Amino acid sequence: MYTEKVMDHFEHPRNVGELENPSGMGTVGNPKCGDIMRIYLDIDENQVIRDVKFKTFGCGAAVATSSMATELVKGKTIQEAMTVTNKAVMEALDGLPPVKVHCSLLAEEAIHAALWDYAQKNGITIEGLEPPKDNIEEEEDGEDY
């Protein structure tokens, strides 16, 4: 059911963890399954993504797609990172079963949310970047539980 590349990234996910003082951070939820993904970006003064980490409560497909997505954006400029869509990630993994396609959206949306956070903090506009729909940061920060 899963390609070798998906299994490899699921069993040995790259870039798992967190970054201290990230340049941008995005947390999104998947409305279909309720799973959560957080991406941390370290972006240098030339707008190159120096480092990236992710944490997820997602399924195996979410782990594999996030692992691949982080590999694809690492070392890229923020504008190049905008071209890393869930489709590009799925192609890099040689495909996903149709029922798992929604899982691959988490990584793309979390990267966009982290880029949005970076853009907000630095007062810049990233071409083609929309405000994140499912950024759940505020809810998380606002409540004690």
User: What is the binding site for ligand FES (CB under 6 A)?
Assistant: 30, 33, 35, 58-59, 61-62, 103, 106
Is-contact 101 86, C-beta < 8 A? yes
Taking the C-alpha atoms of residue 112 and residue 69, their distance in angstroms, rounded to an integer, is 12
* Catalytic choice (33, 59, 101, 119): 33
23 vs 70, beta carbon nearer ligand FES? 70
Examine the residue annotation and report whether 33 is marked as an active-site residue of this protein.
Answer: yes
The nearest distance, CB 110 to ligand FES, in angstroms, is: 11
Of residues 103, 105, 106, 107, which has the active-site annotation? 103
Name which of 19, 54, 12 is nearest 37 in CA terms: 54
For ligand FES, give the closer residue by CB, 99 or 124: 99
Q: C-alpha angle 33/35/37, rounded to 5°? A: 145
Nearer to ligand FES, 75 or 97 (CB): 97
C-beta separation of 55 from 18 below 8 A: yes
Nearest approach, Cβ of 111 to ligand FES (angstroms)? 15
CA atoms of 118 and 23, how far apart (whole Å): 6
The least CB distance from residue 114 to ligand FES, in Å, is 17
Nearer to ligand FES, 73 or 106 (CB): 106
- Shortest gap between Cβ of 88 and ligand FES (angstroms)? 18
Asked whether the beta carbons of 104 and 95 are under 8 A apart, the reply is no
CB atoms inside a 10 Å sphere around CB 48? 15
> Residues with catalytic annotation?
33, 103
